[in-house]
Structure 1
Amino acid sequence: MTALDELVPPDGWSRRPLRELCESIQAGPNRRAGEMRRTQADGGVPLVLPRDLRGQRIDTAEAAAVPAIPWERARELAGYELTAGDILLTRTGTAGRCALVTQEHAGWLFHSNLVRLRLPEARRNEAAYLVAYLSATSAQDWIASRTAGGVIPSLSIRTLGELPVLLPPAGEQARIGAVLAALDDKIQAHTDIARATRAYRATLAEALMNGLLRPGDDPPVPS
Protein backbone atom coordinates (compact mmCIF):
# COMPACT_ATOMS: atom_id res chain seq x y z
CA MET A 1 0.00 0.00 0.00
CA THR A 2 1.22 3.48 -0.79
CA ALA A 3 0.94 6.57 1.35
CA LEU A 4 -1.94 7.84 -0.77
CA ASP A 5 -4.04 4.75 -0.02
CA GLU A 6 -3.35 5.16 3.68
CA LEU A 7 -4.25 8.86 3.95
CA VAL A 8 -7.30 9.54 6.09
CA PRO A 9 -9.46 12.36 4.69
CA PRO A 10 -9.69 15.37 7.04
CA ASP A 11 -13.06 16.19 8.57
CA GLY A 12 -15.46 17.36 5.87
CA TRP A 13 -13.38 15.82 3.06
CA SER A 14 -14.23 12.72 1.04
CA ARG A 15 -12.35 10.10 -0.99
CA ARG A 16 -13.46 8.89 -4.43
CA PRO A 17 -11.76 6.94 -7.22
CA LEU A 18 -10.78 9.05 -10.21
CA ARG A 19 -13.16 7.19 -12.54
CA GLU A 20 -16.16 8.39 -10.51
CA LEU A 21 -15.16 12.02 -10.97
CA CYS A 22 -14.68 11.83 -14.73
CA GLU A 23 -17.22 11.78 -17.52
CA SER A 24 -14.61 9.92 -19.56
CA ILE A 25 -11.00 8.69 -19.37
CA GLN A 26 -9.81 8.26 -22.94
CA ALA A 27 -6.50 7.56 -24.67
CA GLY A 28 -5.65 9.49 -27.82
CA PRO A 29 -6.11 8.05 -31.33
CA ASN A 30 -3.37 6.39 -33.35
CA ARG A 31 -1.98 8.33 -36.29
CA ARG A 32 -1.83 6.82 -39.74
CA ALA A 33 1.53 6.32 -41.42
CA GLY A 34 0.93 9.09 -43.96
CA GLU A 35 0.26 11.63 -41.23
CA MET A 36 3.58 11.31 -39.41
CA ARG A 37 5.41 14.13 -41.23
CA ARG A 38 2.58 16.66 -41.42
CA THR A 39 2.92 19.77 -39.22
CA GLN A 40 0.72 22.64 -38.15
CA ALA A 41 2.48 24.79 -40.75
CA ASP A 42 1.07 22.49 -43.45
CA GLY A 43 -2.48 23.00 -42.23
CA GLY A 44 -4.80 20.69 -40.33
CA VAL A 45 -5.67 20.19 -36.67
CA PRO A 46 -2.59 20.33 -34.39
CA LEU A 47 -1.71 17.50 -32.03
CA VAL A 48 -0.54 17.77 -28.41
CA LEU A 49 2.45 15.48 -27.72
CA PRO A 50 3.60 14.03 -24.37
CA ARG A 51 6.67 16.30 -24.48
CA ASP A 52 4.35 19.34 -24.49
CA LEU A 53 3.14 18.72 -20.93
CA ARG A 54 5.30 20.94 -18.73
CA GLY A 55 4.56 22.57 -15.41
CA GLN A 56 0.90 21.50 -15.46
CA ARG A 57 0.38 23.40 -18.72
CA ILE A 58 0.66 22.64 -22.45
CA ASP A 59 3.79 24.25 -23.89
CA THR A 60 4.07 23.59 -27.63
CA ALA A 61 6.83 24.45 -30.09
CA GLU A 62 6.58 26.68 -33.17
CA ALA A 63 4.06 25.66 -35.85
CA ALA A 64 6.70 24.00 -38.04
CA ALA A 65 7.45 21.51 -35.23
CA VAL A 66 3.88 20.79 -34.11
CA PRO A 67 2.39 17.68 -35.75
CA ALA A 68 -1.05 18.01 -37.32
CA ILE A 69 -3.85 15.78 -38.58
CA PRO A 70 -5.34 16.54 -42.04
CA TRP A 71 -8.75 18.23 -41.92
CA GLU A 72 -10.56 15.25 -43.50
CA ARG A 73 -9.12 12.77 -41.00
CA ALA A 74 -9.63 15.21 -38.10
CA ARG A 75 -13.36 15.26 -38.78
CA GLU A 76 -13.40 11.51 -38.13
CA LEU A 77 -11.64 12.14 -34.81
CA ALA A 78 -14.00 14.83 -33.53
CA GLY A 79 -14.58 12.77 -30.38
CA TYR A 80 -10.92 13.31 -29.46
CA GLU A 81 -10.98 17.11 -29.65
CA LEU A 82 -9.82 18.92 -26.53
CA THR A 83 -12.00 21.35 -24.60
CA ALA A 84 -10.91 23.94 -22.05
CA GLY A 85 -11.10 22.24 -18.66
CA ASP A 86 -9.93 18.85 -19.92
CA ILE A 87 -6.85 17.32 -18.29
CA LEU A 88 -4.11 15.49 -20.21
CA LEU A 89 -1.87 12.91 -18.56
CA THR A 90 1.02 10.85 -19.94
CA ARG A 91 0.44 7.10 -19.81
CA THR A 92 3.74 5.76 -21.17
CA GLY A 93 7.39 6.47 -20.45
CA THR A 94 7.33 8.94 -17.56
CA ALA A 95 3.70 8.24 -16.75
CA GLY A 96 1.71 10.73 -14.72
CA ARG A 97 2.84 14.14 -16.02
CA CYS A 98 -0.33 16.18 -16.39
CA ALA A 99 -1.57 19.48 -17.76
CA LEU A 100 -4.73 21.54 -17.74
CA VAL A 101 -6.16 22.29 -21.18
CA THR A 102 -6.90 26.00 -21.60
CA GLN A 103 -8.78 27.83 -24.35
CA GLU A 104 -5.50 28.20 -26.28
CA HIS A 105 -5.52 24.49 -27.14
CA ALA A 106 -9.28 23.90 -27.36
CA GLY A 107 -10.08 22.05 -30.58
CA TRP A 108 -6.65 20.38 -30.77
CA LEU A 109 -6.24 16.59 -30.80
CA PHE A 110 -3.95 14.61 -28.49
CA HIS A 111 -1.34 11.88 -28.95
CA SER A 112 -2.07 8.19 -28.40
CA ASN A 113 0.39 8.13 -25.47
CA LEU A 114 -1.74 10.67 -23.62
CA VAL A 115 -4.95 10.19 -21.68
CA ARG A 116 -7.70 12.81 -21.60
CA LEU A 117 -9.64 13.20 -18.38
CA ARG A 118 -12.93 14.98 -18.96
CA LEU A 119 -15.08 16.10 -16.05
CA PRO A 120 -18.85 16.49 -16.38
CA GLU A 121 -19.69 19.95 -17.69
CA ALA A 122 -21.18 21.02 -14.37
CA ARG A 123 -17.87 20.22 -12.62
CA ARG A 124 -15.35 21.64 -15.11
CA ASN A 125 -14.44 24.31 -12.57
CA GLU A 126 -12.91 21.54 -10.42
CA ALA A 127 -10.28 20.75 -13.07
CA ALA A 128 -7.67 23.10 -11.58
CA TYR A 129 -7.87 21.29 -8.24
CA LEU A 130 -7.65 17.89 -9.90
CA VAL A 131 -4.54 18.89 -11.88
CA ALA A 132 -2.92 20.12 -8.67
CA TYR A 133 -3.87 16.87 -6.92
CA LEU A 134 -2.55 14.65 -9.71
CA SER A 135 0.75 16.53 -9.86
CA ALA A 136 1.33 16.29 -6.09
CA THR A 137 4.01 13.90 -4.80
CA SER A 138 1.58 11.44 -3.21
CA ALA A 139 -0.43 10.96 -6.42
CA GLN A 140 2.73 10.78 -8.54
CA ASP A 141 4.15 8.09 -6.24
CA TRP A 142 0.88 6.14 -6.51
CA ILE A 143 1.03 6.29 -10.31
CA ALA A 144 4.71 5.33 -10.41
CA SER A 145 4.10 2.28 -8.20
CA ARG A 146 1.40 1.03 -10.57
CA THR A 147 3.11 1.73 -13.87
CA ALA A 148 3.82 -1.60 -15.53
CA GLY A 149 7.47 -2.21 -16.37
CA GLY A 150 8.82 -3.19 -19.76
CA VAL A 151 10.74 -1.63 -22.61
CA ILE A 152 8.35 1.32 -22.38
CA PRO A 153 6.64 1.56 -18.95
CA SER A 154 2.90 2.17 -19.24
CA LEU A 155 -0.13 2.92 -17.10
CA SER A 156 -3.48 1.35 -17.99
CA ILE A 157 -6.63 3.44 -18.10
CA ARG A 158 -8.32 0.96 -15.77
CA THR A 159 -5.59 1.36 -13.16
CA LEU A 160 -5.61 5.15 -13.50
CA GLY A 161 -9.34 5.15 -12.84
CA GLU A 162 -8.72 3.52 -9.46
CA LEU A 163 -6.52 6.37 -8.21
CA PRO A 164 -8.04 7.63 -4.92
CA VAL A 165 -8.76 11.36 -4.93
CA LEU A 166 -9.19 13.31 -1.69
CA LEU A 167 -11.83 15.99 -2.11
CA PRO A 168 -12.28 18.99 0.21
CA PRO A 169 -15.61 20.82 0.42
CA ALA A 170 -16.46 22.60 -2.85
CA GLY A 171 -15.54 26.10 -1.70
CA GLU A 172 -12.18 25.03 -0.31
CA GLN A 173 -11.51 22.94 -3.40
CA ALA A 174 -12.03 25.98 -5.64
CA ARG A 175 -9.68 28.11 -3.51
CA ILE A 176 -6.93 25.48 -3.53
CA GLY A 177 -7.23 25.05 -7.28
CA ALA A 178 -7.18 28.80 -7.91
CA VAL A 179 -4.07 29.41 -5.79
CA LEU A 180 -2.04 26.65 -7.44
CA ALA A 181 -3.33 27.41 -10.95
CA ALA A 182 -2.19 31.02 -10.55
CA LEU A 183 1.31 29.79 -9.70
CA ASP A 184 1.29 27.43 -12.70
CA ASP A 185 0.31 30.36 -14.95
CA LYS A 186 3.17 32.45 -13.52
CA ILE A 187 5.63 29.59 -14.17
CA GLN A 188 4.36 29.36 -17.76
CA ALA A 189 4.80 33.12 -18.25
CA HIS A 190 8.41 32.94 -17.05
CA THR A 191 9.01 29.95 -19.32
CA ASP A 192 7.75 31.97 -22.30
CA ILE A 193 10.00 34.89 -21.36
CA ALA A 194 13.02 32.59 -21.04
CA ARG A 195 12.33 31.03 -24.46
CA ALA A 196 12.01 34.44 -26.12
CA THR A 197 15.20 35.66 -24.43
CA ARG A 198 17.14 32.62 -25.65
CA ALA A 199 15.96 33.24 -29.21
CA TYR A 200 16.89 36.93 -28.95
CA ARG A 201 20.31 36.05 -27.58
CA ALA A 202 20.96 33.70 -30.53
CA THR A 203 19.94 36.39 -33.04
CA LEU A 204 22.06 39.02 -31.32
CA ALA A 205 25.09 36.70 -31.16
CA GLU A 206 24.81 35.97 -34.89
CA ALA A 207 24.71 39.68 -35.71
CA LEU A 208 27.71 40.45 -33.49
CA MET A 209 29.80 37.55 -34.80
CA ASN A 210 29.13 38.47 -38.43
CA GLY A 211 29.94 42.14 -37.97
CA LEU A 212 26.37 43.21 -38.74
CA LEU A 213 26.25 44.81 -35.30
CA ARG A 214 29.11 46.16 -33.23
CA PRO A 215 29.44 46.37 -29.45
CA GLY A 216 28.07 49.71 -28.39
CA ASP A 217 25.49 49.85 -31.17
CA ASP A 218 21.88 49.89 -30.13
CA PRO A 219 20.78 46.25 -30.32
CA PRO A 220 17.50 45.40 -32.01
CA VAL A 221 14.52 45.46 -29.69
CA PRO A 222 13.22 41.91 -29.10
CA SER A 223 9.68 41.29 -30.28
Structure 2
Amino acid sequence: MTPRYVPLGDLCEITASPSSDLFTGLTVGVTGAPVVTPADITDSQRVSPETLRRLPEPPPTLARYRLRPNDLVLVRLGGVGRVALLGEGADDWVYHSSCIRIRPDADQINPVYLAAYLAYPPVVDQLLSHVQVGTVPVLTAGSLRSLHVALPELNLQTVMAGALTEVGLQMDIQQRILTRLGSVRQGLFTHMLGNDLPGEAISRPQPAARERKSPRTRRTNRMS
Protein backbone atom coordinates (compact mmCIF):
# COMPACT_ATOMS: atom_id res chain seq x y z
CA MET A 1 0.00 0.00 0.00
CA THR A 2 1.44 3.35 -1.04
CA PRO A 3 1.74 5.73 1.94
CA ARG A 4 0.31 9.19 1.74
CA TYR A 5 2.58 12.20 2.11
CA VAL A 6 1.80 14.88 4.66
CA PRO A 7 3.69 18.14 5.44
CA LEU A 8 5.78 17.75 8.57
CA GLY A 9 4.19 20.90 9.99
CA ASP A 10 0.82 19.10 10.07
CA LEU A 11 2.26 16.23 12.10
CA CYS A 12 4.53 18.01 14.56
CA GLU A 13 5.11 21.19 16.49
CA ILE A 14 8.29 22.69 15.05
CA THR A 15 10.04 25.33 17.13
CA ALA A 16 12.84 27.47 15.75
CA SER A 17 16.15 27.80 17.54
CA PRO A 18 16.91 30.19 20.41
CA SER A 19 19.35 33.05 20.00
CA SER A 20 23.03 32.11 20.04
CA ASP A 21 23.63 34.96 22.53
CA LEU A 22 21.97 32.85 25.23
CA PHE A 23 24.77 30.26 25.21
CA THR A 24 27.87 32.34 25.88
CA GLY A 25 28.36 30.72 29.30
CA LEU A 26 28.13 27.12 28.09
CA THR A 27 30.67 24.97 29.93
CA VAL A 28 31.35 21.67 31.69
CA GLY A 29 31.67 20.78 35.35
CA VAL A 30 28.90 23.10 36.58
CA THR A 31 25.27 22.76 37.60
CA GLY A 32 22.63 24.20 35.32
CA ALA A 33 20.61 23.38 32.24
CA PRO A 34 22.10 20.66 29.96
CA VAL A 35 22.27 21.88 26.35
CA VAL A 36 22.02 19.58 23.33
CA THR A 37 24.42 20.65 20.58
CA PRO A 38 25.17 19.02 17.21
CA ALA A 39 28.30 17.42 18.67
CA ASP A 40 26.17 15.45 21.16
CA ILE A 41 24.14 13.62 18.47
CA THR A 42 25.38 10.08 17.81
CA ASP A 43 25.24 8.05 14.61
CA SER A 44 22.45 5.95 16.15
CA GLN A 45 20.26 9.08 16.44
CA ARG A 46 20.63 9.44 20.17
CA VAL A 47 22.15 12.01 22.51
CA SER A 48 25.07 11.13 24.78
CA PRO A 49 24.22 12.65 28.20
CA GLU A 50 27.82 12.41 29.35
CA THR A 51 28.97 14.86 26.66
CA LEU A 52 26.40 17.56 27.39
CA ARG A 53 27.66 20.95 28.48
CA ARG A 54 25.58 23.11 30.80
CA LEU A 55 24.40 26.66 31.09
CA PRO A 56 24.98 27.73 34.72
CA GLU A 57 22.23 30.35 34.92
CA PRO A 58 19.73 29.79 32.11
CA PRO A 59 17.65 32.91 31.42
CA PRO A 60 13.85 32.67 31.69
CA THR A 61 13.53 33.07 27.92
CA LEU A 62 15.01 29.57 27.47
CA ALA A 63 11.92 27.99 29.05
CA ARG A 64 10.26 27.99 25.61
CA TYR A 65 13.05 25.82 24.27
CA ARG A 66 12.98 23.06 26.86
CA LEU A 67 13.00 19.47 25.70
CA ARG A 68 11.15 16.38 26.83
CA PRO A 69 11.23 12.64 25.97
CA ASN A 70 10.17 11.79 22.40
CA ASP A 71 11.19 15.23 21.12
CA LEU A 72 13.48 15.26 18.10
CA VAL A 73 16.44 17.61 17.81
CA LEU A 74 17.54 18.31 14.23
CA VAL A 75 20.70 20.17 13.24
CA ARG A 76 19.82 23.24 11.20
CA LEU A 77 23.22 24.95 10.92
CA GLY A 78 26.34 23.55 9.29
CA GLY A 79 25.88 19.76 9.36
CA VAL A 80 22.23 20.04 8.37
CA GLY A 81 20.08 16.92 8.76
CA ARG A 82 21.62 15.13 11.74
CA VAL A 83 18.79 14.19 14.07
CA ALA A 84 18.34 12.63 17.51
CA LEU A 85 15.35 11.23 19.35
CA LEU A 86 15.38 12.06 23.06
CA GLY A 87 14.75 9.38 25.67
CA GLU A 88 13.97 9.42 29.37
CA GLY A 89 15.78 12.03 31.44
CA ALA A 90 15.62 14.83 28.88
CA ASP A 91 13.02 16.91 30.72
CA ASP A 92 15.43 19.59 31.97
CA TRP A 93 17.43 19.87 28.76
CA VAL A 94 17.35 22.68 26.21
CA TYR A 95 18.62 22.73 22.65
CA HIS A 96 21.31 24.89 21.10
CA SER A 97 20.88 27.67 18.56
CA SER A 98 22.30 25.33 15.89
CA CYS A 99 19.27 23.03 16.23
CA ILE A 100 15.49 22.92 15.78
CA ARG A 101 13.02 21.10 18.02
CA ILE A 102 10.45 18.74 16.47
CA ARG A 103 7.64 17.57 18.79
CA PRO A 104 5.62 14.81 17.05
CA ASP A 105 1.90 14.35 17.51
CA ALA A 106 1.93 10.73 18.72
CA ASP A 107 -1.64 10.23 17.50
CA GLN A 108 -0.44 10.72 13.94
CA ILE A 109 3.21 9.71 13.74
CA ASN A 110 5.52 7.48 15.75
CA PRO A 111 8.58 9.43 17.02
CA VAL A 112 10.96 6.50 16.43
CA TYR A 113 9.69 6.11 12.87
CA LEU A 114 10.00 9.85 12.24
CA ALA A 115 13.58 10.02 13.54
CA ALA A 116 14.62 7.19 11.23
CA TYR A 117 12.69 8.70 8.32
CA LEU A 118 14.43 12.07 8.69
CA ALA A 119 17.81 10.30 8.75
CA TYR A 120 17.04 8.32 5.57
CA PRO A 121 19.60 9.51 2.97
CA PRO A 122 17.07 10.47 0.24
CA VAL A 123 15.16 12.52 2.83
CA VAL A 124 18.39 14.16 4.00
CA ASP A 125 18.98 15.13 0.37
CA GLN A 126 15.54 16.75 0.32
CA LEU A 127 16.40 18.69 3.47
CA LEU A 128 19.66 19.85 1.96
CA SER A 129 17.81 21.08 -1.13
CA HIS A 130 15.89 23.46 1.16
CA VAL A 131 18.89 25.00 2.91
CA GLN A 132 19.82 28.62 2.46
CA VAL A 133 23.22 28.54 0.83
CA GLY A 134 25.79 30.90 2.29
CA THR A 135 29.02 30.76 4.22
CA VAL A 136 27.29 28.17 6.45
CA PRO A 137 24.26 26.14 5.23
CA VAL A 138 21.10 27.01 7.19
CA LEU A 139 17.76 25.19 7.37
CA THR A 140 14.81 27.29 8.54
CA ALA A 141 11.82 26.10 10.55
CA GLY A 142 9.53 27.20 7.70
CA SER A 143 11.34 24.99 5.19
CA LEU A 144 11.18 22.07 7.60
CA ARG A 145 7.43 22.48 8.08
CA SER A 146 6.89 22.19 4.33
CA LEU A 147 8.82 18.90 4.05
CA HIS A 148 6.44 16.13 2.97
CA VAL A 149 6.70 12.95 5.07
CA ALA A 150 5.65 9.45 4.00
CA LEU A 151 2.93 8.45 6.45
CA PRO A 152 2.02 4.75 6.61
CA GLU A 153 -0.76 3.54 8.91
CA LEU A 154 0.09 4.06 12.58
CA ASN A 155 0.16 0.32 13.33
CA LEU A 156 2.73 -0.20 10.56
CA GLN A 157 4.78 2.68 11.93
CA THR A 158 4.76 0.94 15.32
CA VAL A 159 6.04 -2.31 13.79
CA MET A 160 8.78 -0.43 11.97
CA ALA A 161 9.66 1.49 15.15
CA GLY A 162 10.24 -1.80 17.01
CA ALA A 163 12.65 -3.04 14.36
CA LEU A 164 14.39 0.34 14.16
CA THR A 165 14.82 0.45 17.95
CA GLU A 166 16.50 -2.95 17.90
CA VAL A 167 18.87 -1.81 15.16
CA GLY A 168 19.71 1.31 17.17
CA LEU A 169 20.48 -0.79 20.26
CA GLN A 170 22.80 -3.00 18.24
CA MET A 171 24.55 0.07 16.86
CA ASP A 172 25.08 1.36 20.40
CA ILE A 173 26.51 -2.00 21.49
CA GLN A 174 28.91 -2.08 18.56
CA GLN A 175 29.97 1.51 19.22
CA ARG A 176 30.74 0.70 22.86
CA ILE A 177 32.77 -2.31 21.72
CA LEU A 178 34.77 -0.14 19.33
CA THR A 179 35.38 2.43 22.06
CA ARG A 180 36.50 -0.31 24.44
CA LEU A 181 38.84 -1.84 21.86
CA GLY A 182 40.36 1.58 21.22
CA SER A 183 41.09 1.90 24.95
CA VAL A 184 42.61 -1.58 25.02
CA ARG A 185 44.89 -0.77 22.11
CA GLN A 186 46.05 2.41 23.83
CA GLY A 187 46.55 0.48 27.07
CA LEU A 188 48.84 -2.05 25.39
CA PHE A 189 51.24 0.70 24.41
CA THR A 190 51.02 2.30 27.85
CA HIS A 191 51.76 -1.05 29.52
CA MET A 192 54.75 -1.70 27.28
CA LEU A 193 56.25 1.79 26.99
CA GLY A 194 54.94 3.62 30.04
CA ASN A 195 53.28 7.02 30.05
CA ASP A 196 56.36 9.08 29.31
CA LEU A 197 58.25 8.90 26.08
CA PRO A 198 61.74 10.42 25.77
CA GLY A 199 61.51 14.13 25.19
CA GLU A 200 64.65 14.28 23.12
CA ALA A 201 64.29 13.79 19.43
CA ILE A 202 65.97 10.71 18.13
CA SER A 203 69.08 11.84 16.35
CA ARG A 204 69.92 10.30 13.08
CA PRO A 205 73.48 9.18 12.53
CA GLN A 206 75.34 11.74 10.52
CA PRO A 207 77.33 10.57 7.55
CA ALA A 208 81.05 10.41 8.24
CA ALA A 209 82.99 13.33 6.93
CA ARG A 210 84.94 12.49 3.88
CA GLU A 211 88.66 12.53 4.29
CA ARG A 212 90.06 15.42 2.39
CA LYS A 213 92.64 14.24 -0.06
CA SER A 214 95.65 16.30 -0.88
CA PRO A 215 95.71 17.58 -4.41
CA ARG A 216 97.48 15.32 -6.83
CA THR A 217 100.64 16.63 -8.39
CA ARG A 218 101.21 16.23 -12.05
CA ARG A 219 104.27 14.28 -12.91
CA THR A 220 106.41 15.24 -15.83
CA ASN A 221 108.90 12.94 -17.49
CA ARG A 222 112.17 14.48 -18.32
CA MET A 223 113.76 13.49 -21.54
CA SER A 224 117.38 12.44 -20.83
SS at match of 1:99: strand
Q: TM-score, normalised by structure 1?
A: 0.77
- Decide which of 186, 207, 210 is 2:170's aligned counterpart: 186
Give 1:132 deviation, angstroms: 1.2
Task: Give % identity.
Answer: 26
Summarize deviations over 1:70-119 as a string: whole Å, max 9, x none: 1x426552332221101111111121111111114442221110111012
Alpha-carbon distance in structure 2 between the residues aligned to 1:124 and 1:62: 32
- Decide which of 94, 108, 127 is 2:93's aligned counterpart: 108
Are 2:192 and 1:202 equivalent residues in the alignment? no
The letter of the residue matching 2:55 is: I
Change over 3 Å in CA distance of 1:54–1:28 after alignment to 2: farther
Give 1:54 deviation, angstroms: 2.2
Are 2:79 and 1:94 equivalent residues in the alignment? yes
Work out whether residues 85 and 125 of structure 1, in 8 Å CA contact, stay in contact via their aligned partners in 2: no
Work out whether residues 22 and 117 of structure 1, in 8 Å CA contact, stay in contact via their aligned partners in 2: yes
Q: 1:55 aligns to what?
A: 43
Q: 2:31 aligns to what?
A: 43
Aligned positions, number:
195
Change over 3 Å in CA distance of 1:60–1:28 after alignment to 2: farther
SS at match of 1:27: coil
RMSD (Å) for aligned C-alpha atoms:
2.4
Summarize deviations over 1:46-73 as a string: whole Å, max 9, x none: 211112222242343855xx42111x42
Give 1:28 deviation, angstroms: 4.0
Alpha-carbon distance in structure 2 between the residues aligned to 1:182 and 1:137: 20
- Decide which of 9, 29, 32 is 1:19's aligned counterpart: 9
Change over 3 Å in CA distance of 1:125–1:208 after alignment to 2: farther
Give 1:154 deviation, angstroms: 0.7
Alpha-carbon distance in structure 2 between the residues aligned to 1:105 and 1:190: 24
Summarize deviations over 1:177-210 as a string: whole Å, max 9, x none: 2211221221122212322332343344323212
Q: TM-score, normalised by structure 2?
A: 0.77
Q: 1:73 aligns to what?
A: 58
Alpha-carbon distance in structure 1 between the residues aligned to 2:152 and 2:129: 25
Alpha-carbon distance in structure 1 between the residues aligned to 2:35 and 2:185: 29
Give 1:42 deviation, angstroms: 1.9
Change over 3 Å in CA distance of 1:34–1:49 after alignment to 2: closer
Structure 2 unmatched ranges of 5 or more: 196-224
Alpha-carbon distance in structure 2 between the residues aligned to 1:22 and 1:75: 24
Work out whether residues 11 and 108 of structure 2, in 8 Å CA contact, stay in contact via their aligned partners in 1: no
SS at match of 1:73: coil
SS at match of 2:134: coil
Change over 3 Å in CA distance of 1:199–1:47 after alignment to 2: farther
Alpha-carbon distance in structure 2 between the residues aligned to 1:190 and 1:51: 20
The letter of the residue matching 1:160 is: L
SS at match of 1:128: helix
Higher radius of gyration, 1 or 2: 2
Alpha-carbon distance in structure 2 between the residues aligned to 1:193 and 1:125: 33
